[in-house]
Structure 1
Amino acid sequence: MVERGESRGVGNGDGSSGDSGPDDDRGGRTATGRADPTAVFELLADETRLAIVRELAAERQSNWQWAGATFAELRRAVGVEDAGNFSYHLEKLCGPLVVKDGDEYHLRNRGVQLVGAVESGRYTGPGDPFREEVAYDCPHSRCDRSLVGVYDDQYFRIRCPDHDVFNGTALPPVAADHHTTAELVEITMLDLRQQVQRAKAGVCPNCWGPIEGRLPATDTSLSSQIDADIPEDALLAAFDCQQCGISFDLPPGACVVEHTAVMAFYQHHDEPIRGRPYVDLPFCHLGRGVLESDDPVRVRVDVELDGDVLRLWLDGETNVVEYERE
């Protein structure tokens, strides 16, 4: 993926119906009814309140159950002897992150997600950087270098040592600490593909707000984070979020990787596709998309294996509208 704008990470999904308890105290709210984010982060700046949230998260983390703890149980678990002091901190959390349901205190879904982000190491430091070769070669015909995986400042990139960054995404330290570089390549690609699929469905992979896809991109300018030599006439798809403002570009082929026709085509040829980086899929390279029509927009992507060709046509919103196999 060719990125424009800041790096990002994708948050956990929320499939729970857990926030079903009483909600009489809605402190820290903005005029729109949403919690003020500065107030929420200020709450967690105190180690006692963070410890309370972590203990309540442990109650909820088994299948996102609506489970909590009484005042006495919670104070004992956190290890605060002064009941008055503990009550002060607990009441501060009630409303934005904690709900009292009967005799028990329960952590809201957003609190569980915040604890997950804390445990991932996102807020504790940049992580230990490393650089290691991966099992893929540079796709440029005049380059015989092996690609390398580079982890730095919570960002994992697959790049050629000489000239290009090909794929990259935000990755918390806990992932880098527990997986090999080869595993991180596959994890990164699974995450990138999910991001692309969500963006194609109109959901921003960064903030879950509305995002629009556009093909071809009208502006292919890149940030300094990407040092690839992108031709001015490169055919790229662009995605822009109306909520958080994040934007990114990618070759048209990246928009069809998860299409059922492409998956079946690779399976028919006994070729693996799961976890393979875009750089190892020739139809995802720059220059492999052809603009056949401006009105309506039709961009053709050819997927080739063993002399067999699958052709797909995308519209101006990056959707596959037609495909055929030769």
Structure 2
Amino acid sequence: MAEGSGSGRADGPGEAGGATDGAAGGAVEPTAVFELLADETRLSILRELAAERYSNWQWSGMSFAELRRAVGVEDAGNFTYHLEKLRGPLVAKDGEEYYLLNAGLEIVGAVESGRYSDTSEEVRGATSYECPYPDCERALEGIYEDQYFRLRCPDHHRFAATILPPTVAAAHSPDELVEIMTIETRQEVQRARAGVCPNCWGPIEATLPAEDPTMATQIEPDLPDGAVLATFDCRQCGLSFEMPTGACVVDHPAVVAFHHDHDEEIRRRPYVTLPFCGIGRADLESEDPVRVRVDVRLDGDALHLWLDGETNVAEYERE
């Protein structure tokens, strides 16, 4: 990968070859940044500069004249006023060109996703996934409203949910939304298990088993006796969530290989279609040290995994 390209979104004038002028020298209050966006001209400036950087996230900018022409402001003095307001926290000047910093890229991405301007209409429809209850033959229903996508059985309860922006719901079917939700949730779980909060990127702690699980109030009407859940708590933003222990091993190489050997693809399958991810499917075998066993079974074969108190796979064995 070339330097300054890809998902790295490098901020800096190295590729441009000049010295950055007007970059912020210290912390900026969030309220000050939000106040900057309360003007259509400034938001248009950010959008035009973002378009320059969207090509491989390159450090690419625009001259004053090019930027003013793209935004469509005839009064040079008025345009200068708004552009100078943005310099520092969101925009940097490098030589004779203006560049959008990474913070500005994140803001433009959020705006274009419709998160702040479009509540969107409700999307509701049956999916091709069946309710996991053995006595239920109903198809799971995908519901999108208030920027929230839920997967639920009409006769039972909600099995999964996550926040998705309006642009996603407008362009995809319920089945496709389930797949997107699965990808998003998997990434959040991987990040949390790596010690990084999926909300604020602060430090997050994993605990297994959860001392006082409350997931029953979120999904299940009744939590099965002896259910072993993992909990994640962020020390920075306060985010806290629980999940079945089996969800912590979905992307483990042994689990992926086990499914591959049985000609099954697991990477894009939602948790609700994986029996070992169900609530009540893990066993607490030891408290000191913590050892929680998860059994993955396919076609009469079994893979046993033991997790420690931080949701790490300490040992696994295949029958």
TM-score normalised by L of structure 2: 0.93
Distance 1:229 1:140 in 2: 14
Deviation at 1:219, TM superposition (A): 2.0
Question: How many pairs align?
Answer: 309
Aligned 8 A contact 1:14 1:109 in 2: no
Equivalent residues in 2 for 1:1-326, closer than 5 Å: 15-20=8-13, 22=20, 24-26=22-24, 33-222=26-215, 226=219, 228-231=221-224, 233-326=226-319
AA in 1 matched with 2:271: Y
Q: Which moved more, 1:229-238 or 1:67-76?
A: 229-238
| Code of the aligned partner of 2:102 | N
Cα pair 1:254 1:278 within 8 Å, conserved? yes
Q: Deviation per CA, 1:270-297, whole angstroms, max 9, x where unpaired?
A: 0121211111000000111000000000
Instruction: Please list the CA deviations of residues 178-233 of structure 1 after superposition, one character each: whole Å capped at 9, or x if unmatched.
Output: 11211111111011111101110001111111011100001212496546433464
- Higher RCO (CA < 8 A, seq sep 6+): 1
Aligned residue for 2:16? none
| Residues 157, 220 of structure 2: 8 Å contact kept | yes
The whole-number CA distance in structure 2 between the counterparts of 1:100 and 1:197 is 37
Provide the alpha-carbon RMSD of the alignment: 1.7
For structure 1, the residue ranges without an aligned partner over 5 or more in a row are 1-12, 28-32
For 1:17 and 1:280, the matched residues in 2 are separated by 39
> Quick one: which amino acid aligns to residue 20 of structure 2?
P
Deviation at 1:234, TM superposition (A): 2.3
* Structure 1 residues 126 and 262, CA gap change in structure 2 (3 angstroms): same
Secondary structure, aligned partner of 2:209: coil
Deviation string, structure 1 residues 44-69 (Cα, Å, up to 9, x no partner): 11000000000000111101111111
Asked whether the 8 Å contact 1:136–1:147 carries over to 2, the reply is yes
- Relative distance call for 1:223 and 1:18 in structure 2 (3 A) is farther
Using the aligned pairs only, state the percent identity: 65
Query: How far, CA to CA, are the matches of 2:57 and 2:182 in structure 1?
Result: 27
2:196–2:204 CA contact under 8 A, matched in 1: yes
User: Secondary structure of 1:234's match?
Assistant: coil
Match of 1:5 in 2: none
Alpha carbons of 1:237 and 1:16: their partners in 2 closer, same or farther (altered >3 Å)?
same
Offset, 1:36: 1.2
Instruction: Compute the displacement of 1:254 (Å).
Output: 0.1
1:87-141 C-alpha deviation (Å, 9 max, x unpaired) = 0000000001000100001000110111111111111122221111111111122
For residues 124-172 of structure 1, the C-alpha deviation after alignment (integer angstroms, 9 at most, x for no partner) is: 1222211111111111223222111110111111111122111111100
How far apart, in 1, do the equivalents of 2:10 and 2:307 lie?
37
Distance across 1 between alignment mates of 2:283 and 2:214:
20
* Structure 1 residues 260-319: Cα deviation after superposition (integer angstroms, max 9, x where no partner): 000000000001212111110000001110000000000000000000000000000000
Change (3 A) 1:46 1:228: farther
Give the secondary-structure state (helix, strand or coil) at the position aligned to 1:196: helix
